[in-house]
Amino acid sequence: MKNRKKKELLMSEVRVRFAPSPTGYLHIGGLRTALFNYLYARHTGGKMLLRIEDTDRTRFVEGALENLLKALKWSGVEIDEGVMLDENGHVTEKGDCGPYIQSERVKAGIYDKYIDQLIEEGKAYYCFCSQERVDKVRDQMRADGLTPKYDGLCRSIPLEEAKQRVANGEEHTVRLKLPKDYDISFNDRIKGKITFNTDDQDDQVLIKRDGYPTYHFAVVVDDHLMGITHVVRGDEWISSTPKHVYLYEAFGWQAPEYIHLPTVLNKDHKKYSKRNGDGMVEDFIEEGYTPEGLINFLSLLGWSPDSEEEIFTMEELAKQFDFDRVNKTGAVFDKKKLDWVNGHYVRELSPEELAKDIKPYMIKAGLIDESYPEDKLVLLAETWQSAIDKFSDAPELAKNYYIKSDEIEYDDDAKEAISTENAKTLFAAFLNQLDQVDEIDADFAKSVMKTIQKETGIKGKDLWFPVRAAVTGSVHGPDLSNAFLIMGKDLVKDRLEYVRDNF
Ligand code: GLU
């Protein structure tokens, strides 16, 4: 009695899963799928599972699982059950439906009785056709203008005979025996009712020559055994769904609800595919995006809130998110928008936090080294905070505070400003002021422009543009006194002498 109650409770709870095949790094489209699953789980008080689908051994990549879990953890998408990282960053599994890695499930023999059941009930059959023959049949169909599929040659082999051939060690696969001219329908939460006719479907391989189940077979058995209530995945899987729905029917199981998410498109409106090698989450981490920024941006890839608001924390998203506001059509990945959203989160950091975040980028660009004074880095962060959208922006924005004077590329406005007669007077006055101090301190940095103004009578743009241009390479930019402080006496002096002598 107690057990049944537990089971009923489990059935009423939303259980979603992210089910990646670890064939490399985590793609941004994969993270969007994981996120929408996660948000729905949080929204409904349900559970988020992670299952690894690695039955395609040819696509196995060493270390891919750790990378994927690390990227997911970084993003803030949390796993309640299944495969996850422990506190020490090691891969572990948690939950009552394990193992959660399909290759482990194969070893545990979990799929055996289900395939046997289908074979015994005449819903699947042994196929002894060689790969060569299957390819030939398909090629011929293609040449005849037909949809290529298996011609069903082995469907009529009597089961006893087939079993004997299997016992004799003959190489074989197991295929789904689809009934002829039969409509399979399912209701996609986003796209509505979708119907496929079995005449357009292949007798899908369920067990491969190597004895491993195919994705199609394993996904159904596992989703069922793991009590998955909603399958939320990219819409490239829609054409596979009738096979899955038919398998549920064949087993007499209740199919989960299907939610196929709109494709993530690149700016050319083509599928933003991982085969092109771009769009890996790791690359965004390396470029210095914040998890909050990337997640916020991804949440808007195919979903829109009930308001004009575009900035959301994970908690706010979980509160508002539902599939009702997920679009039917593709969602374009706009990097400019990502930068804008991420910039919002950069702005929220304290200068001390931002300093830590930009430090590795400044070091990598060769502008500073490990021993660079913390207070200067904090001042640099504060100075450029409003212009930094991602941490890797920092070196490009701030490089003129560090490089040699003859490496500065003065823009056209700067060149014009530093070539005026006024400029010569100003530089002389500034250099004179510098000669009177050992180092630029906060007082000097704040007051020097006023002192020069008084001394030369030059003010406004005529004062600011030449000095700013000489010292920073541009007539525009953030607080100039901060630049003086960060650069220090020697470098500011060098800049002024350089422009005095070269323009
Ligand atoms: N293993 C599939 C993938 O790599 C998951 C598809 C599904 O969610 O059913 O994307």
Three-state SS annotation for 32-86: HHHHHHHHHHHHHCCEEEECECCCCHHHCCCCHHHHHHHHHHHHCCCCCEEEEEC
The span from the CA of 81 to the CA of 79, in Å, is: 6
pLDDT band for position 495 (cuts 50, 70, 90): very high
More confident of the two residues 62 and 28: 28
In the reported structure, the alpha carbon of residue 264 is separated from the centroid of ligand 1 by a whole-number distance in angstroms of 15
Q: How many residues does the chain have?
A: 503
Pick the CATH number of 109-261 from 3.30.565.10, 3.40.50.620, 3.40.1360.10, 3.30.365.10: 3.40.50.620
pLDDT digits (tens, 9 = 90+) for 66-121: 999 999 999 999 999 999 999 999 999 999 999 999 999 999 999 999 999 999 99
The tokens describing 259, both together, are 């939610």
Supply the pLDDT for residue 269. 83
Pick the CATH number of 1-105+264-296 from 3.40.50.620, 3.20.20.120, 3.40.50.460, 3.40.50.2300: 3.40.50.620
Catalytic residue annotation: 274
pLDDT band for position 3 (cuts 50, 70, 90): low
Supply the pLDDT for residue 219. 98
The span from the CA of 146 to the CA of 305, in Å, is: 44
* End-to-end Cα separation, the chain, in angstroms: 91
Q: Which of 247-256, 267-276, 407-416, 432-441 has the lowest mean pLDDT?
A: 267-276
Out of 21, 102, 105, 222, mutate this one to test ligand 1's pocket (max ligand atoms within 8 Å of CB): namely 21
Nearest 10 degrees: CA dihedral of 347, 351, 352, 353?
A: 10
| Domain layout of the chain by residue ranges | 1-105+264-296, 109-261, 403-502
Q: What is the number of the ligand 1 atom nearest to the C-alpha of 232?
A: 8
Q: Which of 2-11, 199-208, 277-286, 400-409 has the lowest mean pLDDT?
A: 2-11
Out of 18, 38, 53, mutate this one to test ligand 1's pocket (max ligand atoms within 8 Å of CB): namely 53
pLDDT band for position 274 (cuts 50, 70, 90): low
Residue nearest to atom 2 of ligand 1 (CA): 20
The tokens describing 322, both together, are 């539902």
In the reported structure, the alpha carbon of residue 102 is separated from the centroid of ligand 1 by a whole-number distance in angstroms of 12
User: Running DSSP on this structure, what letter comes out for residue 209?
Assistant: T
Residue nearest to atom 5 of ligand 1 (CA): 19
Q: What is the number of the ligand 1 atom nearest to the C-alpha of 30?
A: 10
In the reported structure, the alpha carbon of residue 18 is separated from the centroid of ligand 1 by a whole-number distance in angstroms of 8
Supply the pLDDT for residue 268. 82
376 has binding-site annotation: no
Supply the pLDDT for residue 199. 93
Q: Taking a C-beta distance cutoff of 8 angstroms, is the pair 261, 190 a contact?
A: yes
pLDDT band for position 2 (cuts 50, 70, 90): very low
Q: What is the number of the ligand 1 atom nearest to the C-alpha of 215?
A: 1
Is the pLDDT at 458 greater than 90? The verdict is yes
Supply the pLDDT for residue 23. 82
Distances from the Cα of 119 to the Cα of 216, 459, 498, angstroms: 16, 91, 85
Q: What percent of the chain has pLDDT over 70?
A: 97
The pLDDT of 183-189, averaged and rounded, is: 97
The pLDDT of 494-503, averaged and rounded, is: 96
Angle at the Cα of 309 from the Cα atoms of 303 and 311, rounded to 5 degrees: 80
Q: What is the number of the ligand 1 atom nearest to the C-alpha of 33?
A: 8
Q: What is the number of the ligand 1 atom nearest to the C-alpha of 17?
A: 8
In the reported structure, the alpha carbon of residue 198 is separated from the centroid of ligand 1 by a whole-number distance in angstroms of 22
User: Across all residues in the chain, what is the average pLDDT?
Assistant: 95
Is the pLDDT at 9 greater than 80? The verdict is no
Ligand 1 lining (C-beta closer than 6 Å): 19-21, 53, 215, 219, 233, 237
Out of 38, 103, 215, mutate this one to test ligand 1's pocket (max ligand atoms within 8 Å of CB): namely 215
Q: Taking a C-beta distance cutoff of 8 angstroms, is the pair 445, 481 a contact?
A: yes
Same fold, 1-105+264-296 and 109-261: yes
Q: Which of 22-36, 163-177, 460-474, 482-496 has the lowest mean pLDDT?
A: 22-36
Provide the b/e sequence for 346-385 (b: ≥16 CB within 10 Å).
beebebeebbbbbbebbeebebbeeebeeebbbbbbbbbb
Q: Which residue has the tokens 């499930």?
A: 105
What one-letter code names the amino acid at 268? D
pLDDT band for position 271 (cuts 50, 70, 90): confident
Q: Which of 5-9, 162-166, 279-283 has the lowest mean pLDDT?
A: 5-9
Q: Taking a C-beta distance cutoff of 8 angstroms, is the pair 252, 35 a contact?
A: no
The pLDDT of 489-498, averaged and rounded, is: 98
Is the pLDDT at 61 greater than 80? The verdict is no
Cis check: omega of the bond before 466, within 30 degrees of 0: no
Q: Which of 114-128, 326-340, 350-364 has the lowest mean pLDDT?
A: 326-340
Longest dimension (CA), the chain: 107
The pLDDT of 331-360, averaged and rounded, is: 97
The pLDDT of 190-197, averaged and rounded, is: 96
The span from the CA of 48 to the CA of 27, in Å, is: 19
Q: What is the number of the ligand 1 atom nearest to the C-alpha of 23?
A: 4
The tokens describing 31, both together, are 């993270």
In this structure, which topology does domain 403-502 adopt according to CATH?
Arc Repressor Mutant, subunit A (1.10.10)
The CB-side HSE value for 315 (13 A sphere, CA atoms) comes to: 0
In the reported structure, the alpha carbon of residue 86 is separated from the centroid of ligand 1 by a whole-number distance in angstroms of 24
Supply the pLDDT for residue 1. 39
Nearest 10 degrees: CA dihedral of 448, 454, 459, 460?
A: 50
In the reported structure, the alpha carbon of residue 206 is separated from the centroid of ligand 1 by a whole-number distance in angstroms of 16
Is the pLDDT at 50 greater than 70? The verdict is yes
Residue nearest to atom 3 of ligand 1 (CA): 20
Q: Which residue has the tokens 């289908």?
A: 118
pLDDT digits (tens, 9 = 90+) for 125-146: 999 999 999 999 999 999 999 9
What is the 3-state composition of the chain as percent helix, strand, coil, each rounded to the nearest 5? Answer: 55, 10, 35
Out of 37, 228, 230, 233, mutate this one to test ligand 1's pocket (max ligand atoms within 8 Å of CB): namely 233
- Sheet with 205-207: list strands edge to edge: 124-127, 173-176, 205-207
Residue 349: strand, helix, or coil: coil
Is the pLDDT at 8 greater than 60? The verdict is no
In the reported structure, the alpha carbon of residue 32 is separated from the centroid of ligand 1 by a whole-number distance in angstroms of 13
Supply the pLDDT for residue 255. 97
